[in-house]
Structure 1
Amino acid sequence: MIAELKLVSNDVVARFERLWQHDVRKVWSFLTENDKLHGWFPELRIEDLREGGLIKFDMGDGAFEEMRITHLEPYSVLAYTWGEDEVRFELHPVQEGCRLVLTEIIHSMTSHTPRDLAGWHVCLDVIGALLDDRTLESRKDEWRSWYEKYQEHVDRFLKE
């Protein structure tokens, strides 16, 4: 399911939703435990899991970008800065397991935005696969496919 894009004030909010047949605690562990986080986003590392705490993004060249945790409610909400933007994961227990909602608040749409949205989409697909003890054949191929769709999606959104 492609992310919903909505204009809120002067920001664009991208909203992804997934329903998984796993309990909230298990899904939460993929967001907050470094060994599991590494499985779907190897560049991220939680340094200090608390509101005001720190997540580091490995730029791959020896440099790290620091992201601040802006909201933390165990097993429910994890939000942190993402450059000039913010990402927010919300977990909701449901009868079938867990509903995850990921929102990214985008202050400025750029040519890079479709790339990031495709990246989040694939990351969520990878989490789903890991939860089910599966693997995706090629993240790169998945990303390419979704990037084209998000490029069209963003272009349509900007024309509205």
Structure 2
Amino acid sequence: MDIRDRIAQLNTDTVLDGNVLHLSLATDLPPSILWPYLTDPVLLRAWSPYVPDRVLTFEESVLARENSADEPYLSQIMEIKAEETLAHTWGDDTVRWSLTNPGITCDMTLQEPKYASYYAAGWQVCLAVLQALLEGDKQERIIGMDAMKYGWPELQKKYQAELPGQEAAPDEG
């Protein structure tokens, strides 16, 4: 399947509840297969904008970045239960990954929930790339400004209309 179609058609069951953005990705793969995609920097670099400087195996701070040339930032690993739960900071926000049967859920606690549509669109792109990789398809990581070429603006507008209390980002007027 073409990645643009995969992104557009991906059902992430996205909900904004107060300041928590909830997304999920259904998959029949067991947690033992999914867990490394959340904790191993090599596998995260294949699909995620969050890439820590070490494998995530214990609660402690890590340095993370989106791209290898970026300045690293401090990220606190707040909770980790192998093959079940991973919670960490991402800037001012908190990301909590849970492996369920079937699938992966992501709950982001946002400092600025009025911009949840931006996060939802970005994570939909990333989760579509992850889905492709999990299905054995070769797919380049799509993050940052590259997502604009793969339907991110349309997704953001869709989520802006669907999620409660959304506003345009400050630089959009």
| TM-score (structure 2 length as normaliser) | 0.74
**Counterpart Cα distance in 1 of 2:98 and 2:66:** 24
Gaps of 5+ in 2: 1-10, 167-173
Gaps of 5+ in 1: none
In structure 2, the partner of 1:118 is 121
Name the SS for the 2:46 alignment partner. helix
1:115 is matched by which residue type in structure 2? Y
Per-residue CA deviations over 1:103-156 (Å, capped at 9, x if unaligned) read 001122355x422221112111111111001256975313233222122224xx
In structure 2, the partner of 1:83 is 91
In structure 2, the partner of 1:41 is 48
Closer/same/farther in 2, CA of residues 19 and 146 from structure 1, 3 Å limit: same
In structure 2, the partner of 1:66 is 74
| TM-score (structure 1 length as normaliser) | 0.79
Root mean square deviation, CA, Å: 2.5
- Tell me, yes or no, if the aligned pair for 1:33 and 1:46 is still in contact at 8 Å: no
Q: Structure 1 stretches (4+) deviating beyond 3 angstroms?
A: 58-62, 135-140
Closer/same/farther in 2, CA of residues 105 and 48 from structure 1, 3 Å limit: same
Q: CA deviation at 1:60?
A: 6.8
Per residue, is there more strand in 1 or in 2? 1
Q: Does 1:147 align with 2:151?
A: no
Deviates more, 1:69-78 or 1:59-68: 59-68
Closer/same/farther in 2, CA of residues 61 and 134 from structure 1, 3 Å limit: closer
Using the aligned pairs only, state the percent identity: 24
In structure 2, the partner of 1:106 is 110
1:134 is matched by which residue type in structure 2? D
**Counterpart Cα distance in 2 of 1:61 and 1:18:** 29
Corresponding residue pairs, total? 148
**Counterpart Cα distance in 2 of 1:143 and 1:73:** 32
Deviates more, 1:41-50 or 1:29-38: 41-50
Closer/same/farther in 2, CA of residues 46 and 75 from structure 1, 3 Å limit: farther
Name the SS for the 1:87 alignment partner. strand
Q: Does 1:132 align with 2:135?
A: yes
**Counterpart Cα distance in 2 of 1:158 and 1:21:** 34
Q: CA deviation at 1:86?
A: 0.3
2:105 is matched by which residue type in structure 1? V
Per-residue CA deviations over 1:27-73 (Å, capped at 9, x if unaligned) read 11111112211110255234362112314024676411221111100
- Tell me, yes or no, if the aligned pair for 2:23 and 2:120 is still in contact at 8 Å: no
